[in-house]
Amino acid sequence: MNPKVIIFDTTLRDGEQALQASLSVKEKLQIALCLEKTGIDIMEIGFPVSSPGDFKSVQTISKNIKNSRICSLARCVEKDIDIAAEAMSASDSFRIHVFLATSTLHMESKLKKNFNEITDMAIYSVKRALRYTDDVEFSCEDASRTTMDNLCRIVEKLINSGVKTINIPDTVGYSIPNELSYIIKNLFERVPNIHKSIISVHCHNDLGMAVGNSISAIQAGARQIEGTINGLGERAGNTALEEIIMAIKVREDLLGVSTNINYKEIYRTSQIISRICNMPIPANKAIVGSNAFSHSSGIHQDGVLKNRENYEIIDPISIGFKRVKLNLTSRSGRAAVKHYMSEMGYKDTDYNINELYSDFLKLADKKGQVFDYDLESLAFINKQQDELEHFSLQFFSVQSISNGLSTASVKLLCGKKVYIESSTTSNGPVDAIYQALNRITHFPIILKKFELTAKGQGKDALGQVDILVEYKKRKFHGVGLATDIIESSAKAMINVLNNIWQAKQVNKKLKKLKK
């Protein structure tokens, strides 16, 4: 049985510090419940002395979390420690996390104290925290820039004082992996009572080294890793826990440790935290980014279809990611095209793969990304897709009042016929246009995603709207680009309507062929 690495999550404390707006008590509780379900060992749920709102959040979470140990942060100040304990009093067991800077820079320029005074403050605070719980963690703030002699001295004294966990933070993301590894190894070699405490690290990502530093610390003997989901945190953020967790799982042969994490909850928890915190996940983010299990290269797509392990070291299903995504672009090969056609239920004999692939490449160069319904059209309707713009928006007018009703009128060309329709709604001008268009087309669509992205700056900036709708259990994409956001929204919906119409023509033709 491999030794366990304790996963310490500080999304609700350090992670929240990076947000533009504070989270509500309800939002924090929702995140805490997700973390608990993911199997997080310890969650740092706040800094109770900082505000009445944070105190209430810690108090509420303490009453609801049963399977993870909760923890609150406190400075080496009596009031901080007392309030932290009070806020968590509803919990059967909790941890108080006390911190104090130990580097010469921080001691002299920030705290105006010498090392002996810092040591005395730390020991006094630990003893006060031990009045409330036997689980006390101490962080030597800016440990990575603390002299090795001072760090060893204070760690030894803190352990003798009853500290169960000693945290070695790379507070400003200054270290590189072999440097942090050297610090941890030195502590194990030079501190005689080190075996009585768990050594933890808390790494920041200012140089992009947080995960690498944390892994090197594990290899040196650290058995607790602190971080946040999605790497949220001050400045460039913290160690991304999902990356650490999966690195431990995938490279268990090399690291020789394990965790208590429920891996299948990782993706869901990441998405929920991203949404609640209004912090989008970069597409290329490891483990949880939208491209983490996407393949565009034809060689890679062919390899994945033959054997997933050719180009994937993690089974996406294992973290709750539903499926591998093969992007259809001009870099895709025949294998990806055949895969999509097969997924839609078509046999190789239903179409000519050479003709389809040739037409696909032309469309991909023109359109960028091709979707399954585009392939259907190329295979069965119109090779160049030059005559498929059945719907064309001729005119639109919108009147909207803030906190009131919005009215839209549209003039839509449908083939050779022109229709005029209007709609009034309380959901804003974009929804009013969409409702008016729906009254004309009568397509039972459900809007699943609406994204607005600014292209450029100033008065000439363009607004790109990307939407995803569901029509009869099938997904359709639409894109619109214009200087006016409402116009780009309308164009995106027209794009979707044309894609749906195109798919309907394919179905009609296939039904005739079957007859």
The answer for residues whose C-beta is within 8 angstroms of residue 489's C-beta and 6 or more apart is 430, 433, 434, 450, 465, 467, 480
- Check the annotation: does 14 bind a ligand: yes
374: pLDDT strictly greater than 80: no
Distance CA(12)–CA(34), nearest Å, equals 12
Q: What is the CATH number of the domain that holds 120?
A: 3.20.20.70
CA angle 129, 135, 137 (to 5 degrees): 75
- Inside any domain, residue 285: no
| Cβ neighbours of 326 (radius 10 Å) | 24
Same domain, 366 and 398: no
pLDDT at residue 396, rounded to an integer: 92
Same domain, 337 and 273: no
- Check the annotation: does 300 bind a ligand: no
103: pLDDT strictly greater than 70: yes
- pTM for the whole thing? 0.75
pLDDT band with cut points at 50, 70 and 90 for residue 384? very low
Look-up of token digits 């809007």: 447
Per-residue pLDDT of 231-284, as tens digits, reads 999 999 999 999 999 999 999 999 999 999 999 999 999 999 998 998 999 989
Please give the tally of structural domains in the chain: 3
Residue 493: give the domain boundaries: 391-514
- Inside any domain, residue 20: yes
Same domain, 100 and 175: yes
pLDDT band with cut points at 50, 70 and 90 for residue 515? low
Q: What does the DSSP assignment read for 139-159?
A: EEETGGGS-HHHHHHHHHHHH
Same domain, 55 and 109: yes
- State the amino acid at position 78 in one-letter form: E
Cβ pair 94, 66 in contact under 8 A: no
* Chain-centroid distance, C-alpha 324: 17
- Check the annotation: does 82 bind a ligand: no
Per-residue pLDDT of 43-83, as tens digits, reads 999 999 999 999 999 999 999 999 999 999 999 999 999 99
Same domain, 273 and 310: no
Lowest mean pLDDT: which of 36-50, 398-412, 501-515?
Answer: 501-515
- Check the annotation: does 427 bind a ligand: no
pLDDT at residue 433, rounded to an integer: 92
Same domain, 334 and 415: no
